[in-house]
Amino acid sequence: MTRLAADGRARFGAALLCAAVLAALLAPLITTIAPAVQRDVVATRFLPPLAHDLHGVLHPLGTDRLGRDVWARLAYGARISLGVGSLAVLISTVLGVLVGTVAGTWQGRLGALLLAVTDFALALPRVVLLLLLAALWRPSAALVVVVLGVTGWMSVARLVHGEARLAASRPFAESARALGASRLRLLRHHVLPNALTPAIVGAALGFGNAILLEAGLSFLGVGVQPPAPSWGSMIASGRDTLVNAPWVAAAPGIALVLVVVAATLLGDALHDALDPARSDVRGETGAALSGS
Partner 1 sequence: MLPSLLRRTIGGLAVVAGVITLTFFLLRLAPGDPTERLLGPTATAEQVSAQRHVLGLDRPLPAQYAAWVSRFVRGDWGTSISTGRPVRGMLATAWPATVRLVGISLVLSYLLGIVIGAVQATAGRRVDTTLSVATVTLFAMPGYWLGLMLVMLFTYRARILPSFGSRGFDADFLPPAARLADALRHLALPLATLTLVGLGGTARFVRGAMRDVQHAPFITVARAKGITEGRVTRHHILRNALVPVVTLLGLSLPALFSGAVFIEAIFAWPGVGRVLVEGVQARDYPVVMAATAVSALLVVAGNLLADVLAAVVDPRLREPAA
Contacts with partner 1 by CB under 8 A lie at 116, 119-120, 122-129, 131-133, 135-136, 155, 158-159, 162, 201, 205, 208, 212, 215-216, 219-220, 232, 235, 238-239, 242-243, 246, 249-250, 253, 256-261, 264-265, 271, 275, 277-278, 281
Q: Is 138 helix (H, G, I), strand (E, B) or coil?
A: coil
Q: In the bound complex, what is the minimum distance in angstroms from residue 32's beta carbon to partner 1?
A: 26
The answer to whether 49 and 247 are in contact (CB under 8 A) is: yes
Q: How far apart are CA 256 and CA 236, in angstroms?
A: 14
Least Å from the CB of residue 118 to partner 1: 10
Cβ proximity to partner 1, 41 vs 132, nearer residue: 132
71 versus 219: smaller Cβ distance to partner 1: 219
Q: What is the rounded CA–CA span in Å between residue 262 and residue 242?
A: 27
What DSSP letter does each residue of 56-121 carry, written as one string?
--EETT-B-TTS-BHHHHHHHHHHHHHHHHHHHHHHHHHHHHHHHHHHHHSTTHHHHHHHHHHHHH
Nearer to partner 1, 6 or 33 (CB): 6
Exposed, middle or buried: residue 63 (CB in 10 Å: 0-12, 13-18, 19+)? Answer: buried
CB of 174 to partner 1, least distance (A): 15
With respect to partner 1, which residue has the nearer C-beta, 18 or 120? 120
Q: How far is the CB of 58 from partner 1 (least distance, A)?
A: 26
Cα(137)–Cα(146) distance, rounded to whole angstroms? 12
Which one, 33 or 173, has the nearer CB to partner 1? 173
Shortest Cβ 124–partner 1 spacing (Å): 6
